[in-house]
Structure 1
């Protein structure tokens, strides 16, 4: 799992670097690139929060008397909500659709990487 998340984070950072280059090279795509950067950063934050929460749940289950641990959905939803509010508040700086779409980037990349790795690791039998 850690390798999959590490690959997704690396992919997200490459996308952010490419969007930074586009933001300064292409004046017409400035708001779209900024929206993608904002959304991907929120997506990275969500992925790291989820990874941390999964580790906490694993530790709680390994104890003799596990304590109640939630999945932390509220914090991840709040992260996306804050990003959307920033994009709505400053429409001249951030493109709202690109911000919304890119706020799910890391989660989609994790899914794609896990799918490809599953295909590669399977023995070919049902």
Structure 2
């Protein structure tokens, strides 16, 4: 598994399953980049490794980010520095992730994602 600067969270649900939330990339990151996609995955409790078939993308780079990249934005998207917690009553994991269209700008929105557990 490859991960850049994602400030990952580990969450244990009521059934004892452990979930990882953070950036998971398809290749070795270049320093702290890219900071997408934001993913959730189950951890194997015996090996403490990600179960590959459980990796699910929560959010990732969009076509508007490509436009910003072409317009000169140095870092077009950032889904790192998120926070996840278990909402046991609702059987879900809540993920709050800052969305910045460009790391060199201060404008930020906080996205909330509800990941329902089966």
Pairwise TM-score range, normalised by the shorter structure: under 0.3
Larger radius of gyration: 1
As a proportion of its length, which structure holds more helix?
A: 1
As a proportion of its length, which structure holds more strand?
A: 2
Normalising to structure 2: TM-score of the pair? 0.28
